[in-house]
Every structure is written in structure tokens, then in C-alpha cells.
Structure 1
Amino acid sequence: MSDMSSKPILAAVSSPRRALSCWRCRAIFSLCILEHVTVLANRRARDYTQLNSLKENCLEQDASMCTSEVVNSSNGREFLTGFHKRKVQRQKKAKEELDLQLKEERKRLKKETRESYKKLVVSHRPIPELEEFEAKEYDLETHTVSILEVSAADLAQKNNWIGVNKVQYEEVKVEDDAGDAEGEKRTVPGMEFRTEKDVRRVIKKQATKIVQNSKAFQTKNKLEKQKNKKKSMKMKNQRIKLQSKNKKGKRVITSVLLTIAEVDNENS
């Protein structure tokens, strides 16, 4: 029997077409294929058991979160079905962080503007002229002492003297833009603010520059632009849909009118 079975196998190896022509050879060939398939199935089952054992070991040793979620069926189901939920949570967390950053940035901006306002007010405080000083009197036991500012002009006016030779200038009003530009050029640095309004204008300009350079405000403006863009696209799509529906309705009405006209013509 061994000699009979070995010959067809050799024949199958040497020439497969001749081997498959005999029914005995075909049976032996199918048995070989079946044995090969069973070996592969056993190997796959062994690999699967090894994989399950590795997963159990990972669970026992408190493996990483991802592995535990994939291995455990309930956690795995929750992980695979909760993408939108986690996305919403991430967006909410990012929004809270952005709001906190904006709040801190506003506090810092208010503090800086307050400090700069104080500096500008102190540095540009008007210097009182000497003529504005008032006389001071000190009452003592025996006499009173008065401190006065005496100038040559006052003495001359009091005693009818000629006084100091001074040049009197006439005020000339110029309403040209060129004169204003020259006046701006002639201003001394640090003395160009005359009113509180000018100081507030400068502080506002500085605050806008700080806001433009702030990272938190830049991200806020970017998100607002994206939101407005999505809103405009949605409105545009709705308008296009309404226009297409109106066109479709008009076509139906025209087709109905044409059919009615044709029927009337046939009847007539």
C-alpha cells in the first residue's frame, strides 16, 4: 500500500496535471491540502490564545489606558462610540481656558493703562508760574512776617519808574495747516499734552496696540472669523436651496400650463 500511495505523490510532484487525472491522486492531493489547512488553523488558534493571555496579563498589571479600553468590552464600546462626546468636551475645555486667558489679559491691560495714566498725568502736570504764588504771612508774638515776591516791574509801577525794557509781541492768528504742522514740530517732547482728553487718547492707542499683539485676543478673533464664515456659508446654501426650489416650481407650473393649452387646442 505504501508503494502504491508513494507513486502517485511522486507523480503529483513531477507533473500535477497527470497526477490530477487519476481519482486516487486527486484524493491524496485533497488530503494534503486538508492537512495543511488544519495546521494553519491550529497555528492561528494557538496565536489567538497567546494574544488573549497577553491581554489578561496587561489587565492584571494595570496597563495603559488605551490597552485597557481596547481589551475591556464595555470600555472599548464606550471608547469607539464616544468620539463626538470627547470632541465636545475638548472644545468646552479649550473655550474655558481661552476665557480665563482673556480675563487675565483684560486685568493686566487695565492695570497697565492705570499705571500709564498716572505716569502721564504726573509727568505732564502743569508747572505753576511764579506770578501764581500767593503771599504768606506768619503771626508771631510781637510782630507779623509777610513773605512777598518783589520784582522790578512791581517796584517801577509803584514808584512811577520807567521799569525794565520789555518787548511787547502782538498775537498773530494763523489758520493755515502749514502753521499747525510747524507748531506740532516745535512742541517740546513730553509737553504736547494740554488736556486730559489728549492723555486718554494716547492711552487708548497704546491699549489697542497691546490688544493686537496679544495671543489670546488673536485666537479669539480667529475663532470669531471662523464662526462668521460658517454662518455665512450656511445662509448661502439655504438661499441656493430656496432659489432651486422656486425654479423647480416655476418649471412645473409652465409644464402644466403647456399641457392644458395643448389639450384645449386638440378639443377645439
Structure 2
Amino acid sequence: MRGKRQKNRATKTSLTFDEKARRDFLNGFHKRKVERKLKYKKKLEEQVKAELKKAKREAQEKYALARKSQRTVPEVAHLVEPIIEEKEDATVTITDLSGDPLSEQNVFIGPNKTLVDDSSEDEAEEKAGGLHGGLVCKSKKQMQKAVNKKITRILHKSKAMNKKKMEQTKKNIKKKKQREKLTKRK
């Protein structure tokens, strides 16, 4: 029987690890993952901001269009000027009721169609094709509320906002689970 041979240690190479380089290599995966997440969050925030700007612009355009539609046209202004008739026992003034002064004071004659619950108002807006149809006899404050409501409705339908909500929901669920774990440990 033969005995064990001795190892040839002179021609062998030994590997030594640089602990810092190893740590950087292994942590690089996590760093890149975190960078991707941050990049995605920034992109999502930019999309939400862009959609908000777009919604505001659209609502303001519709608001301006509605305000313009309430004004009387200069060519027809002489036709809608108030006519004053004096009778034996009273003075009668005939005016156009769609003018700004009356609508800003919320004075209406006939069926009051401006004070409607929100659900039917939304349906009326959708049928009329947006803000313009529902803003004929409203004050400036009411019109601004309608514009803000329209902006909110547009944002709730947007994809970027829905993604942001989903992320927030996931984050809240994760925090809730962590709190539950902590309470179970105690």
C-alpha cells in the first residue's frame, strides 16, 4: 500500500476575499432595487402632477366657457335691455333673468333647478357634456365648487392616481401587520 502523497503547496494559488468588495457586490442588488423603486415613485408623482394640471386646465376652460355663456352678446344687448312700462297703479319693468346680477344673488323665478342634490347634479352634468351644461344659473362660488368637484372626479378616474392609492393601501396593510406582530410579542 501506498502512503498519502503530500500536497504540492508551492504551485497552488490561494484566494483571498476583500470583505468590502464582497459586501458592495452583495448589497448592489438591493441598492439597484431601491433605486428602481425611487425612480418609479418619482415617475408616478410626476404623472399625478401632470394629470392634476391637465384636469385643472380642462375644468378652468369649461368654467370660462360657462361664464362667457352667461354674458349677453353686445349685438343683442339692446334687445334685452329692461323695458319700463308705467301703468295706472304700478310701474312694470321687463328684464332678461339670465343676467349675472340676478344669478349671483341666487334670485330665480320659476322652478328652482339650481338647488339639486349631488347625485342628480352629477348625472345632469354627464348628460349635458361636462361642466358647461350644469353651470348656467350659479354664482361664482358655486361654479368654483363645481370646477373643484370636476377636477376631483377626473383625478379619481386617472390611472396614476389609482396606482398611487394602491401603493398607499399596500403600505398601510404592511404597517398594520407589523403593529399586529409587535402586539402579539408582548
Name the TM-score class by shorter chain. 0.5 to 0.7
Match of 1:16 in 2: none
Deviations 1:115-157 (A, max 9, x none): 12211211234787522xxxxxxxxxxxxxxxxx7x6x34xx6
Partner of 1:203: 147
Query: Counterpart of 1:235?
Result: 179
Q: Indicate conservation of the 8 Å contact 2:52/2:155, yes or no.
A: no
Identity of aligned residues (%): 30
Q: How do 1:92-171 residues align onto structure 2 when only pairs under 5 Å count? A: 92-125=38-71, 129-131=80-82, 153-154=85-86
* Larger CA Rg, structure 1 vs 2: 1
Output the CA distance in 2 between the equivalents of 1:212 and 1:226. 18
Aligned match of 2:113: 184
Higher helix content, 1 or 2: 1
For CA contacts below 8 A with separation 6 or more, give which structure has more relative contact order.
2
Tell me the residue number matched to 1:213. Answer: 157
Map of 2:35 onto structure 1: 89
Summarize the Cα distance change of 1:120–1:191 in structure 2 as closer, same or farther, 3 Å threshold: closer
CA distance in 2: counterparts of 1:76 and 1:240, whole angstroms: 37
User: Cα 1:81–1:208, aligned 2, differ >3 Å: closer, same or farther?
Assistant: closer
Q: Deviations over 1:86-121 (max 9, x none)?
A: 211111111121122122222212222221221121
What amino acid sits opposite 2:166 in the alignment?
Answer: K
Opposite residue 113 of structure 2, the aligned amino acid is: E
Runs of 4+ in 1 over 2 A off after TM superposition: 75-82, 124-129, 182-185, 189-194
Q: TM-score with structure 2 length normalisation? A: 0.54
The alpha-carbon distance between structure 1 residues 123 and 192, as it changes in their structure 2 partners (threshold 3 A), is closer
CA distance in 1, matches of 2:159, 2:67: 30
Change (3 A) 1:92 1:130: same
Compared CA separation, residues 99 and 239, structure 1 to 2 (3 A): same
Equivalent residues of 1:212, 1:218 under 8 A apart: yes
Alignment TM-score, normalising by the size of structure 1: 0.39
Equivalences, count: 125
What is the Cα deviation at residue 77 of structure 1?
9.1
Q: Distance in 1 between matches of 2:147 and 2:135?
A: 16
Cα distance, 1:229 vs structure 2: 0.9
Output the amino acid matched with 2:154: I
List per-residue Cα deviations over 1:41-100 (Å, max 9, x = no partner): xxxxxxxxxxxxxxxxxxxxxxxxxxxxxxxxxx99966652212211111111121122
Structure 1: gaps spanning 5 or more residues: 1-74, 132-148, 167-181, 243-268
Aligned partners of 2:60 and 2:147 also within 8 Å: no
Any stretches of 5+ residues in structure 2 without a counterpart? 1-20, 93-110, 117-132
Q: CA RMSD in A?
A: 3.6
